[in-house]
Structure 1
Amino acid sequence: MSSIFKTKPISTLIAETEGKQGLKKALGAFDLTLLGIGAVIGTGIFVLTGVAAANFSGPALILSFILSGLACIFAALCYAEFAALVPVAGSAYTYGYASLGEFWAWIIGWDLVLEYAVAISAVAIGWSGYAVSLLDSMGITLPKALTVAPSDGGFINLPAIIIIGLITWLLLTGVKETSRLNGIIVVIKVAVILLFIVLAVWHVKPVNWHPFMPFGFSGVAAGAATIFFAYLGFDAVSTAAEEVKNPQKDLPKGIIYSLLICTVLYIVVSGILTGVVKYTAYAHTSAPVAYALQQIGINWGSAIVAVGAICGITSVLLVMMFGQTRIFFAMSRDGLLPKFFGKVSEQRKVPVSSTLLVGIVTAVCAGFTPISIVAELANIGTLSAFIIVSIGVMVLRHKRPELHRPFKTPFVPVIPILAIISCGYLLISLNPITIIRFVVWLAIGLVLYFLYGRKNSTLNDQEKSA
């Protein structure tokens, strides 16, 4: 039984990236920062700000973003140490394999499979809503049967399926092409957000900030747990580790820079949103940024924000799907999932089978599942991953203090402990039914591991042949 806690040597993990089944190294620190911004700035700022303000935080939404941002910064410092030390695809799954052993690696990998799959589906559904609304404003009305899930009165969410199909095709063209398009989209959406700030800041009325904390601090915490979905993306930066030209220096920069930039933008935008319009008004809109500009009479700005929101959500979808394919790839290469999904295209150096699998599964989920079920599951998956990575940093510091760490998490064990406490607090603030669904998912994962993963693990095979 102790074999399931066997760790995979870091030297072995790195050696696997250098063979025919390794991925193409094409990214730098700037590319990684744009990937992070691409994944973080999107649904959170264009959709969830209104939901959290109206239902949980009120004007104290600023505090919710600060609370979530702090939890993420603590976790990001732990991620940065691992990313520089183990520049291998798979993110938290790989870090768990190197520090805590195969069993915990499987747990965190299975957790990440859920996190990314439901996040991709939720974001695609959000993209569909904005796209349908934009087409409607242009006089093109799509039938409800083709734009919402069956449980919401439709037949299929076709726009959500189409955008996932297009991004799957893009991911198959290669990592550099994907990064280039993401960079263009990021520039557009950041420009739109800055335009909103410049237009709206002059219309802030301090009276709208009273009462500042209408739902108490418990509301602030619940709001932080809800909008934590907005910060999912920085984890996706570390999934690109194997495709970075100078990972020891560039990965920590990409993770930390993107998170800091996004946190500042979130805080500024949430403050302006609740200052321009009373927080209660956002209860009836899924496009709070555009709605705020409409309320102050800047309709042309509202239209531009709608276009920026579609761009923003598109880049989130792009980076999320990129991250999911790399996690599947890493788990398959280790034998914990069928080897077929670990194969890499010789020409493009991308994991074709994993990309197609992710595209098909998430398209089906987005086409037939309501967004209410999928969004919170992404949050609990991320929080769990952050907690395990933070524990992994402390464990590896104790087990392997002699390892050369190009980037060191400062003040260990204080920072990892703060990450565990803050993420744990947000986790228990989630809806109890979400926690139950997550436990059921983990139970299914354990059955799969003991029936398939443990028997087919490459680490297990190496030990038998040694």
Structure 2
Amino acid sequence: MSQTDFESHDVLDYEQGNLQTGTNWWGAFVIGLAGTILVTGAAPAFLTVFGASYIPFITFFTLTGVVLCLLLAELSAMMPGRTGGSPSYAYPAYKNRWPRLAPHVNGVTAWMYWVGWMPVAPLNMILASFYITHLFGLDATQGITPVSTFIPYWTLAITAVGLIILSIPAYLGIRFGTSMATILAVLSMIPLTFLSIGFIFNMDAANWSELAGFPHLDGSAFSDPIGGYPAWVMYIAYAFPLLWTVIAYEAAACYIGECKHPGRDAKIAMTLEGGYGVFVYTMLPISFVVILGAQAISDPALVDPKTMFVTFASNIFPGVAGTVMEWLMAIMLIVALVLSALNSLMGCSRSLYQMSLDGQFPRFYQHLNKHHVPDRAMMTNVVASLAIAFMGGAIEIYSFSNVGYLGSFVPVLIAYYLLRNDRPNVHRPFRLPEFFKYIALALAALYFFVWLAGGLIYSYIGGQAVYYFLGVITIFMYLPLYWYRKWEDRKSGLAGNEIAVAGE
């Protein structure tokens, strides 16, 4: 066989999962909507800091998320046997170039991804509790204060009950989980889409002059200082928590390995996810600014950031209709947040499972139940999520988890370049133009800069240093878990990896 023939039949060698192939592009798309739904926490938090200047800021970074989705579509289609989403695609690339380094790249990347995605479940249940207590007039004045954040008892109760209930469909497998997610997705897409274009239902309430020059809340120019800091410092700092939300719709990649036709489904699911993400993340801030206005957004007495969405709905339809819309939007947003929490429980458990198959995590997590679900990994998510709930608000959880989440994409983006450069002839059912390998490197550099510089500046400006460094400490917890796995291998006399058998 000639060298040309050999290269044309180049095949990647990697550990494959044994999960059920029970869904398609729609299943991956609807469960992956969990990332898009994070806008419910992000938009109010950032609008109350930046006002209209938030719009070009978020549009740029959201578009980088679309590019990320396209890159992951190619990787997931060419490695359909890998599960756990984006971190699982780095290992084959590094193993080819640096075989001794590759296991650690794989382990650290998957662990950082888990640290990033696992807190999404408690975060969204916390956000859901705000709407539930608001609608039913529950007392949110009693609670506890860990470190610096007050946590109402109702928030803890709703979060705990919600996580336990959601563990049931997550335990029952991808088919059941997808069926439930489809119902939740339809109900969640309605309010998100409606609110994104809400101004068309009451054009008289829209003040388009609020967008002129994209000013800050106080009316100052886009480049003027914010809160006593130069604008560019604030943009770099807040890019750190912002990226945690606007690239999270890449979560659909976690389920490509469970699609019946991954070569086709990867392209469709990831492209739709990116497109809908851009629509929601850019149009929602525009709608909020033109309807509510900078003055209302900046005054908590007029607009509570925790319930900004329902206030927005009632402003579009004043009077009795507004009250009805407030309830309807709140209920649908609660449903949307529940979907996002379900995705978190299901998705990042796959990362622990794949990392265990690859040999960097305890064998305990290779176990699959009769529904082909990594049940031990999933239940670990539930327990860890309950602990994360005691951190308190969204900003605290953003600071903690993004130390892992954003950082996990840097080695994956470099891996895309390596695979394109070193293994150009591996079969790719979906193939981007060649220049995308350089875009991947540029994106890796951007994300690394925001992860390092933005994270450090934000932890100082936002007073979140304790949570940022708690995230750093959590990342290093990978080492004792890895050492334990190596001890297991030596004790059993096995150097390789064992594939779990369902029900063992």
TM over 0.5: yes
Q: What is the deviation of 1:421? A: 3.2
Q: Give the alignment of 1:16-95 within 5 angstroms.
A: 17=17, 22-37=18-33, 39-44=34-39, 46-55=40-49, 57-87=50-80, 88-95=82-89
Cα distance per residue 1:120-157 (max 9 Å; x no partner): 22222112222222222xxxx25654698795164571
Partner of 1:271: 286
Q: Give the alignment of 1:421-440 within 5 angstroms.
A: 421-427=445-451, 428-430=453-455, 431-432=458-459, 433=465, 436-440=469-473
User: For residues 132 and 124 of structure 1, what CA distance do their matches in structure 2 show?
Assistant: 12
User: For residues 213 and 221 of structure 1, what CA distance do their matches in structure 2 show?
Assistant: 17
The answer to whether 1:287 aligns with 2:307 is yes
User: For residues 232 and 456 of structure 1, what CA distance do their matches in structure 2 show?
Assistant: 36
Moved more, 410-419 or 109-118: 410-419
Q: What is the deviation of 1:162? A: 0.7
Partner of 1:6: none
Aligned-partner SS, 2:84: coil
Contact 2:169 / 2:180 at 8 angstroms: preserved in 1? no
Contact 1:127 / 1:313 at 8 angstroms: preserved in 2? yes
Q: What is the deviation of 1:382? A: 2.4
Among 459, 479, 485, the alignment partner of 1:446 is 479
Partner of 2:206: 204
User: For residues 279 and 235 of structure 2, what CA distance do their matches in structure 1 show?
Assistant: 18
User: For residues 389 and 165 of structure 1, what CA distance do their matches in structure 2 show?
Assistant: 32
User: For residues 488 and 432 of structure 2, what CA distance do their matches in structure 1 show?
Assistant: 34
Give me the identity figure in percent: 16
Contact 2:35 / 2:248 at 8 angstroms: preserved in 1? yes
User: For residues 76 and 326 of structure 1, what CA distance do their matches in structure 2 show?
Assistant: 19
The answer to whether 1:321 aligns with 2:345 is yes
Aligned-partner SS, 1:429: helix
Partner of 1:122: 123
Q: 1:11 to 1:153 in 2, by over 3 A?
A: closer
The residue type paired with residue 426 of structure 2 is L
The residue type paired with residue 250 of structure 1 is D
Q: Give the alignment of 1:28-427 within 5 angstroms.
A: 28-37=24-33, 39-44=34-39, 46-55=40-49, 57-87=50-80, 88-100=82-94, 101-136=102-137, 141-142=138-139, 144-145=141-142, 151-152=149-150, 154=152, 157-197=156-196, 199-201=198-200, 202=203, 203-210=205-212, 212-214=214-216, 216=223, 218=232, 219-283=234-298, 284=300, 285=304, 286-296=306-316, 297=318, 298-346=322-370, 348-367=371-390, 369-410=392-433, 411-427=435-451
Q: What is the deviation of 1:435? A: 5.1
Partner of 1:4: none
Cα distance per residue 1:75-113 (max 9 Å; x no partner): 222212211111211223321221121110111112012
Q: 1:291 to 1:463 in 2, by over 3 A?
A: closer
The root-mean-square deviation of aligned C-alpha atoms, in Å, is 2.8
Aligned-partner SS, 1:337: coil
Unaligned segments of structure 2, at least 5 residues: 1-10, 95-101, 217-221, 224-230, 460-464, 499-504
Cα distance per residue 1:195-230 (max 9 Å; x no partner): 334543312102322551325353455444333233
Aligned-partner SS, 1:361: helix
Aligned-partner SS, 1:413: helix
Contact 1:336 / 1:457 at 8 angstroms: preserved in 2? no
State TM-score, norm by structure 2: 0.80
Cα distance per residue 1:265-306 (max 9 Å; x no partner): 221121111111223533432122222233452332222211
The residue type paired with residue 24 of structure 1 is Q
User: For residues 353 and 301 of structure 1, what CA distance do their matches in structure 2 show?
Assistant: 41
State TM-score, norm by structure 1: 0.86
- Residues paired across the two proteins, number: 441
User: For residues 331 and 253 of structure 1, what CA distance do their matches in structure 2 show?
Assistant: 26
Question: Which one has the largest radius of gyration?
Answer: 2
